[in-house]
Structure 1
Amino acid sequence: MGPPLATTLPTTAVVSAILLHHLILKRFEIDHLVLHLTATSWAAYAGLVSVVGLQLATSTAFSFFAILSVTILVYRAFFHPLRDFPGPFPAKLTKFWAVWKTWDSKFAFFKQVHPELRRQYGDYVRTGPREISIFDVKGIQPVLGFTSKMEKGPYYDVFERSLHLNRDHIWHRQRRKVWDNGMKQSLSDYGPRVEEFTSELLDRIERTNGQSVTLNEFCIHYSYDVMSALVFGRSMGFNTGQSSDVANRIIQIIADSLHALGLMCHIPWLMKALGTLLSSAGPMALWEDWTRDQLAERRALKDPRPDFMMHLLEGTPRSPQGDRLLFGESRLIISAGSDTTANSLTCIFIQLALHPHLVKELRQELECGGYSCLRPQPVLDSIINESMRVWPAVFFPSQRVTPPEGLQIPGGRFIPGNMIVTIPAFALARDERNFARPDEFLPERWTTRPELAMTKTAFLPFLIGPYTCAGKSLAMMELRSVTARVMAEYDVVLPEDFDATKFFGGIEDHWTTGVPKQKVRFVKIAK
């Protein structure tokens, strides 16, 4: 007669937990299976309850998950391939450490915690159970460059598929051709549209009559109008005061979600699970329904003005799968493209308000050399670049996974295979080894004083390599257009009690950069 179930079941659970970790969890990435595994676990538990009763089923489940947890933690702390890399001990055990540090730092993980980790531990820091953050510029090309053999990390499995959110490099390369050809063909046609929206913004500024307004609001409304017209052939109508209630709710939904995204970007498996559960209900359902309606209306347009969606429609098969791809990419373009540009514009205007000598130089350049949003100009572009160096539009570093054979950083360390690697662009841009006086706003480092930018390759506002931002040219068009034309006609005047240290200290790192709301006055200059 064999041992009773009260002994065999917990023992079997212990052995199963150890085998599960050794044979599967330490060898394969299962982040995308969280919901499946959760449902399977509950189903197995319910089935066990029906066979052996609640008490024995619960003790068996407890034995399994307790031993599994201990096995995982001991392995991560003492036997993991990254065990010799320095870093905070809690970070070796769980990425929830990063979630806690994000909350504890008031959403300043990437602008405060990362630089401190570099100073304390060096250029190669273990910031997660299988994650290394590299602060060494020698790692930029091997990790992010065109010759890199690395794939995207698990963060790119969250939400719906798009050019940005996918990990299939072959599919990405094919889809990127559609985007690049579309951007190349549409940008010259779209330049006048950008200027039209800038004219609408100037009209709105004119109507303020020099009264105090919220700068962020003007910038975000402008960028959403531009991007929605680029995608769906017509703007949301914010600048002209014709926005719908649905459009107003959507922009608020996105704003309200940023803190949650700022926490969950560290744990993409939870981000994906919650996104799947909430995609068909609540605020996100409104966002998805609006996208579907707008895409249907865009398809029905006769002889639309040139826009980017024309090229996406031509390059996407008409099928349920193709439609889902267009839904995902249109939401990506509008949300990511709008928030990043708006935050960059806000920071640029604040910097110019604080540095009137730069405004004078910019106006002189515009008076002497003319202006076009399609071409770079030394002073204008130096102001834009320096603002993005000091306060990038996105703090979250792009994830990559090392190939199975590992990765040797030339002149640096060897990273074992199948490990997540990030290169924190903000920390590199604020590193005194790369930029002299890195915390100061000095646009001349991009023009007349190149010695202030010792390592320009550490400037990564749009990334580099095959995954560089596809909308870089459009973003620069918007930034040039608004900065040049507004500053040619107006002074941006801050309140007398404005505290620059408090303002910039209040910038948060969410999924995108969170810039504090700031009141300003647009004062017409005498000509």
Structure 2
Amino acid sequence: MSFTAALHTLGSFVSELPASQLCLGAAVLGLISHHAYFIHGERDAHVWTYFLVLLGTPSMLAALLYLSTAAGLSHTVSTVTLATTSFLSAMAASIFVYRLYFHPLSRFPGPSPTRLSKLYYIHAYTQARGQYFRVQQRWHAQYGDIVRSGPNELIVLRPELLPVLGKAAKGSWYNNGNRNSSIQLVKDRETHSVRRRVWDKAFTPDAVKAYAPRVKHYTDMLLEKLAEGEREKDITAWFSYYTFDVMGAFTFGRDFGMLEKGGRDGSDYFLRMTHASMRSIALLGHTPWLLLLMEMLGAAGKEHMKFLEWCKERVDDRKRRGMGEMGSDLFEVLLEAEPKNIGPHHVPLRGDSRTAIVAGSDTTAATLIALFTYLGSSPETLSKLQAELDSLPADSTESPYLSACINEALRLNTAVPSGVSRYIPPEGVTLDDGTFLPGGVNVYFPLWVAMRDERWFDNPEEFCPERWLISTPEKLAEMKAVFQPFWIGRYQCVGRPLALAELHSVGAAVARRFDISLVGDRDAAFAKTIDTFTLEMGEIRCVFTERLL
């Protein structure tokens, strides 16, 4: 039988099937698709294939029926619609029944919609005006320490799980990196280890020490800008200009000119574009298949797509300038290793540039903004810090009380508030109370919630630097068990030494030179914060008055 004759026979067979048999056959295929394929592992990376199949298969079936039989157009359309609807309905029903009653996580409590689909996250995030960490806090108050937040996802507020998560594989959120990989997003452990060894060269103690004069240069520039003109300043803007310029110089050997121009003349373009891109990721990132599909369709947000292209342009510009032009920077290290950045462990420079800027600037800026918001609304704490700094050599940042203030800012306003996505190891984990967490489950440890929990922090909502200085060793150990603002284990933030250097440099210099008072209410200031994976701070204003020393 020829191919054409076979198609004609198949088309005739489908066309002549009674509607009930057609529906049944399509439904059986839907059930088989779920249980034989979709139920086994993640499928985010293949979303484009599924999208094309979903569009193409009904069209091909319609063409087959129409061209190989005498059926009219209306009969063809109704037949294909019936078959497609039966297939998708049966598969969806199978998925929902499995997730509700037979999934290994079916015994864990949580909002009903999250058991069916992670799409509910988009609703919860939007309703909370971007403060997903508060959603997590409400869920834990309602459901307990373990909350089912997705079909295959738990939020677990148990410190004993942290050492396990510190060694665990990256979870489903990192599927967002399938098209735009970076050291942050890459999931393969060996690839990450290879790339991390390259990055570590830029963050050795000697490398960070050598970068100290440049940090001081931008700190001095920030001080002058805070002293100029009106005493009332938008600290969200100025501390962001500072951290983005520092990271621009550290990453590419050139700053963005934000501090110098005060964000004028488009100098803050990258800052605005970064935040717009991160908002797209925040909204869609918990459903990686949807973000990947939107990116492929060019519908992930104009600013998000511009941001990706802008990162590529910065990489191309830095490549053209070659080695050693501006002294040591991150890209000098990356470009030196680029000839070996090939094969299965290749990570594109564009992705690494995005990671360096976002992870190194947004996070540090958020902490500085929080630090001075608290100091500006806590006169006694500020005076105590100034007294200790005044007793030290002029340029010293070795202040235990300053370190305690920074710890409190990191605790109350941690830079990645909702936590990071990790997989429970295949063998599963048994918690201290005997609760068993199945292997392969996507898990978050909610950092913002944990670091405001009265089980581990006395008066957890209070800004109290003294807790880090006068607590008993036992209490200090309890606090440190959950105090992980830079994460823990193999994926701990590589830029931690530089971030702490910036925080101490600016914290000491600004507190030494200025008396600071917050404009308005502190709670109202933090109410404008948005969780975009990192924290995006709303406008917060402080008055800076030069001290008479």
User: What TM-score do the two structures reach when normalised by structure 1?
Assistant: 0.92
Contact 1:395–1:510, Cα closer than 8 Å, also in 2: no
Q: State the Cα deviation string for residues 103-159 of structure 1 (Å, max 9, x = none).
A: 12222221x222222222222221110111111111111222xxx3x3111211214
2:210 alignment partner in structure 1: 189
CA distance in 1, matches of 2:55, 2:522: 53
Q: What amino acid does structure 2 have at the position aligned with 1:467? A: Y
Partner secondary structure for residue 376 of structure 2: helix
Q: State the Cα deviation string for residues 424-479 of structure 1 (Å, max 9, x = none).
A: 11111111111111111111111123476543211111100000111111111111
1:206-221 equivalences under 5 Å are: 206-210=227-231, 212-221=232-241
Q: What amino acid does structure 1 have at the position aligned with 2:128? A: S
1:173 alignment partner in structure 2: 193
Partner secondary structure for residue 443 of structure 1: coil
2:411 alignment partner in structure 1: 389
1:273 alignment partner in structure 2: 293
Q: Which runs of 5+ in 1 are unaligned?
A: none
Match for residue 491 of structure 2 among 463, 467, 477: 467
1:363-442 equivalences under 5 Å are: 363-370=386-393, 377-442=399-464
CA distance in 2, matches of 1:445, 1:476: 19
Match for residue 141 of structure 1 among 163, 183, 190: 163
CA distance in 2, matches of 1:503, 1:340: 18
2:508 alignment partner in structure 1: 484
1:18 aligns with 2:31: yes
Contact 2:276–2:303, Cα closer than 8 Å, also in 1: no
Contact 2:241–2:268, Cα closer than 8 Å, also in 1: no
1:483-502 equivalences under 5 Å are: 483-495=507-519, 498-502=520-524
1:158 aligns with 2:179: no
Contact 1:6–1:56, Cα closer than 8 Å, also in 2: no
Q: Which runs of 5+ in 2 are unaligned?
A: 1-11, 66-75
Q: Measure how far apart 1:287 and its partner are.
A: 3.0
2:221 alignment partner in structure 1: 200
1:73 alignment partner in structure 2: 96
1:30 alignment partner in structure 2: 43
Q: What amino acid does structure 2 have at the position aligned with 1:142? A: V
- Change in Cα spacing, 1:126 to 1:288, as seen in structure 2 (3 Å) is closer
CA distance in 1, matches of 2:36, 2:311: 43
CA distance in 2, matches of 1:399, 1:236: 32
**Please, which moves more after superposition, 117-126 or 484-493?**
117-126
CA distance in 2, matches of 1:102, 1:475: 28
Q: Measure how far apart 1:488 and its partner are.
A: 0.6
Q: Measure how far apart 1:396 and its partner are.
A: 2.9
- Change in Cα spacing, 1:166 to 1:441, as seen in structure 2 (3 Å) is same
Q: Measure how far apart 1:412 and its partner are.
A: 4.1
CA distance in 2, matches of 1:45, 1:65: 12
Contact 1:224–1:334, Cα closer than 8 Å, also in 2: yes
CA distance in 2, matches of 1:119, 1:70: 31
CA distance in 1, matches of 2:301, 2:388: 52
Q: State the Cα deviation string for residues 383-420 of structure 1 (Å, max 9, x = none).
A: 01101101111223111112333222344421112111
Q: RMSD over aligned Cα, in angstroms? A: 2.4
2:119 alignment partner in structure 1: 96
- Change in Cα spacing, 1:376 to 1:152, as seen in structure 2 (3 Å) is farther
Q: Measure how far apart 1:229 and its partner are.
A: 0.5
Q: What amino acid does structure 2 have at the position aligned with 1:33? A: H
1:326 alignment partner in structure 2: 349
**Please, which moves more after superposition, 390-399 or 445-454?**
445-454
1:126-137 equivalences under 5 Å are: 126-137=148-159
Q: Measure how far apart 1:18 and its partner are.
A: 0.4
Q: What amino acid does structure 1 have at the position aligned with 2:34? A: H
1:225 aligns with 2:240: no
Q: What amino acid does structure 1 have at the position aligned with 2:280? A: A
CA distance in 2, matches of 1:376, 1:74: 59
Q: State the Cα deviation string for residues 274-296 of structure 1 (Å, max 9, x = none).
A: 23443999434543443333333
Contact 1:126–1:133, Cα closer than 8 Å, also in 2: yes
- Change in Cα spacing, 1:376 to 1:410, as seen in structure 2 (3 Å) is farther
Q: State the Cα deviation string for residues 494-527 of structure 1 (Å, max 9, x = none).
A: 33xx122222233232222132202222211111
Q: Measure how far apart 1:172 and its partner are.
A: 0.9
Partner secondary structure for residue 151 of structure 1: coil
- Change in Cα spacing, 1:229 to 1:278, as seen in structure 2 (3 Å) is farther
Q: State the Cα deviation string for residues 473-498 of structure 1 (Å, max 9, x = none).
A: 11111111111101111122233xx1
Q: Measure how far apart 1:222 and its partner are.
A: 0.6
2:371 alignment partner in structure 1: 348
Q: Measure how far apart 1:61 and its partner are.
A: 0.7
Identity %: 30
Q: What amino acid does structure 2 have at the position aligned with 1:340? A: T
**Please, which moves more after superposition, 305-314 or 227-236?**
305-314
- Change in Cα spacing, 1:376 to 1:156, as seen in structure 2 (3 Å) is farther
Partner secondary structure for residue 239 of structure 1: helix
CA distance in 2, matches of 1:276, 1:102: 23
CA distance in 2, matches of 1:238, 1:171: 35
Partner secondary structure for residue 125 of structure 1: strand
Q: Measure how far apart 1:323 and its partner are.
A: 8.8
CA distance in 1, matches of 2:54, 2:141: 43
Match for residue 106 of structure 2 among 79, 83, 104: 83
CA distance in 2, matches of 1:205, 1:323: 43
CA distance in 1, matches of 2:441, 2:96: 17
Q: Measure how far apart 1:173 and its partner are.
A: 1.4
CA distance in 2, matches of 1:78, 1:514: 38
1:103-118 equivalences under 5 Å are: 103-110=126-133, 112-118=134-140
Partner secondary structure for residue 236 of structure 1: coil
Q: Measure how far apart 1:209 and its partner are.
A: 4.5
Contact 2:183–2:347, Cα closer than 8 Å, also in 1: no
Q: Measure how far apart 1:253 and its partner are.
A: 1.9
Q: Measure how far apart 1:44 and its partner are.
A: 0.8
Partner secondary structure for residue 85 of structure 1: coil
Q: State the Cα deviation string for residues 289-317 of structure 1 (Å, max 9, x = none).
A: 43333333333245421212211112222
Contact 2:368–2:507, Cα closer than 8 Å, also in 1: yes
Contact 2:245–2:257, Cα closer than 8 Å, also in 1: yes
Q: Measure how far apart 1:6 and its partner are.
A: 4.6
Aligned residues: 518
